[in-house]
Structure 1
Amino acid sequence: MTNRRPISLDNPDANPEELIASSFVEDLVVAAKHPALMEDLALAILRRRDLPAVALEEIARNHSVIKRRKVLVGVVEHQRTPRHISLPLLRRLFTFELMQLALTPSVLPDIKLAVEESLVGKSATLALGERITLARRGSTKVAGALLVDGQTTVSEAALQNPRITEASIVKALGRPEIPLTFLIMLANHSKWSLRREIQIGILRRREATDSLVLKIAAKLPKPAIKEVITQARLPAGRKELLQTALIRG
């Protein structure tokens, strides 16, 4: 016979297994804060898409389970977790837990943004191997931020990331400081060296050497070079160099 009342009302000593099987929200809340709640049961609760915010708050306060990594991540990524709970919990996540969260489709956009900003902010303090992994496997925003990392191996990994886009590379080319090695990588890349916006972005960089500028200009049609000369903001002497390229062409 189906219960018409919450189990916890009739049996205050009910165990978590009984409570999470209930269809009543009240029972889920009692289970979430139960001192005997184990990791597997907490994860079972977190799989409930109808889970009320109050139950998620109770799991976050339940010290016996929130210390478990899977439970911690599960609370943060749940779509019904209140922001005042999920955002502070982000600080307790490891780098690669954050990376995976940023790639999880069900994570809410504002949480994903906070995760990505956290990763970008801490990237300078990470070990080289961690930055390479983030660059290669991270989200578009994270990989885009690592394009101009001071280490060539990190930039190379970011360019290999299948999520990297032309827009993210063009954005990176607009940074105040860019390593020359990154520009050289782009100029030699089989795919990105052929994209017009990226070519123009390289031409506008003061870090680009004369030989690099001439190499890029050789790939551009004359009308495009003329447009760059007349419309783009260029470093000192760059217009003259491009005019030389026009004459050579």
Structure 2
Amino acid sequence: MNDGALPGTTDQARRLLLALRAGPEELFRLVHDPDPLVVRNLLKNPHLNEDHLLVLLKRRDLGEDLLKALHQRFREGASHRLILAMARNPDLPAAIALSLLPHLYLFELLDFCLLPGMTPDQRLAAERQIIRRLPEIPLGQKITLARRGTNAILAELVKEGHPQIVGPCLDNPRLKEVALLQFLRTGAATAETISQIARHPRWQHRPNLKMAILKHPRTPMVWYVCWLPALKGTQLKELLHSRNIPAEKRQRIRDLLNRRG
């Protein structure tokens, strides 16, 4: 094939020229060229289309400068799938990635949070986008988020206090204890959701959670019956001085302390 290269030109010069003149089929091969100058020339090729760009964006060696040039060239009128492919490239500069996040759908954002190679800032921005949308998300999607979400998303979901959401949050291995401790300090915790935590096999034996549950004014009496006898005297005294415990439960603590002498 005569690609227009002059006799005696280097292989790089030939590829640079070919990148400018290649047709649609040849471009699919050139998007894999290891030379960034060749790839940059591809962006000037009038035959370069979205299908070529989607293949190109799967590469993980493009570098920030090339991705900036690509974004500058195709940001106007870019399709949703092109925006998604660009946002998922871990080499994309953070400022550009953040500008693309509002255009992603809910579970695309969640996938973005979980992608390996994302920077903490990018992951945090995606989590904030999801959290910002929570008031408008239907219950079914919130339950799916509870099963798959990151700790930051789970912490916000738990705060809503809906038993159907709290349950799958408790099962999610990404949930951290601090999120539940924060929830138990709010007015959103109910007898039902407190009991969900108290009987969950992953959480029921954690000392800090157990004390936080016993200090909550809405904790059902059954957990006092189950847990108080195993507590140390210092823990019972700590509970006795908690302002939130109702009188009936406070008396039960006093009676146990008196029996212990």
**TM-score tier (shorter):** 0.7 to 0.9
2:173 counterpart residue number: 162
- List gaps (5 residues or longer) in structure 2: 1-8
2:22 counterpart residue number: 14
Change (3 A) 1:248 1:157: farther
The code of the aligned residue for 1:99 comes to: L
Deviations 1:3-51 (A, max 9, x none): 2237345663334335423332122233346554344422332232221
The code of the aligned residue for 1:141 comes to: A
**Given that residues 148 and 182 in structure 1 are in contact (C-alpha distance below 8 angstroms), is that contact kept between their aligned partners in structure 2?**
no
Change (3 A) 1:80 1:94: same
Matched, 1:128 2:142: no
2:157 counterpart residue number: 146
The code of the aligned residue for 2:13 comes to: R
1:30 counterpart residue number: 41
> Which deviates further from its counterpart, 181-190 or 60-69?
60-69
Matched, 1:240 2:250: yes
Aligned runs of 1:196-211 on 2, under 5 Å?
196-209=207-220, 211=221
Larger Rg over CA atoms? 2
Structure 1's consecutive aligned runs of 4 or more residues displaced over 6 angstroms after TM superposition are none
Give distance in 1, aligned partners of 2:129 and 2:237.
39
Give distance in 2, aligned partners of 1:58 and 1:148.
42
Secondary structure at the aligned position of 1:76 is classed as helix
Aligned runs of 1:69-80 on 2, under 5 Å?
69=81, 71-80=82-91
* Superposed CA RMSD: 3.1
**Given that residues 79 and 106 in structure 1 are in contact (C-alpha distance below 8 angstroms), is that contact kept between their aligned partners in structure 2?**
yes
> Which deviates further from its counterpart, 103-112 or 145-154?
145-154
Secondary structure at the aligned position of 1:4 is classed as helix
How many residues matched?
246
Change (3 A) 1:39 1:247: farther
**Given that residues 90 and 117 in structure 2 are in contact (C-alpha distance below 8 angstroms), is that contact kept between their aligned partners in structure 1?**
yes
The alpha carbon displacement at 1:154 in A equals 0.9
1:222 counterpart residue number: 232
Change (3 A) 1:139 1:163: same
**Given that residues 120 and 142 in structure 1 are in contact (C-alpha distance below 8 angstroms), is that contact kept between their aligned partners in structure 2?**
yes
The code of the aligned residue for 2:244 comes to: P
Give distance in 2, aligned partners of 1:24 and 1:163.
40
Give the TM-score, by structure 1 length. 0.81
2:11 counterpart residue number: 3
Secondary structure at the aligned position of 2:159 is classed as coil
**Given that residues 101 and 115 in structure 1 are in contact (C-alpha distance below 8 angstroms), is that contact kept between their aligned partners in structure 2?**
yes
Give the TM-score, by structure 2 length. 0.78
The alpha carbon displacement at 1:63 in A equals 5.2
**Given that residues 68 and 92 in structure 2 are in contact (C-alpha distance below 8 angstroms), is that contact kept between their aligned partners in structure 1?**
yes
The alpha carbon displacement at 1:247 in A equals 4.2
**Given that residues 180 and 208 in structure 1 are in contact (C-alpha distance below 8 angstroms), is that contact kept between their aligned partners in structure 2?**
yes
The alpha carbon displacement at 1:196 in A equals 0.8
The alpha carbon displacement at 1:136 in A equals 0.8
Change (3 A) 1:108 1:86: same
Give distance in 1, aligned partners of 2:165 and 2:146.
6
Change (3 A) 1:215 1:21: same
**Given that residues 22 and 47 in structure 2 are in contact (C-alpha distance below 8 angstroms), is that contact kept between their aligned partners in structure 1?**
no
The code of the aligned residue for 2:79 comes to: K
The code of the aligned residue for 2:39 comes to: L
Identity, in percent, stands at: 24
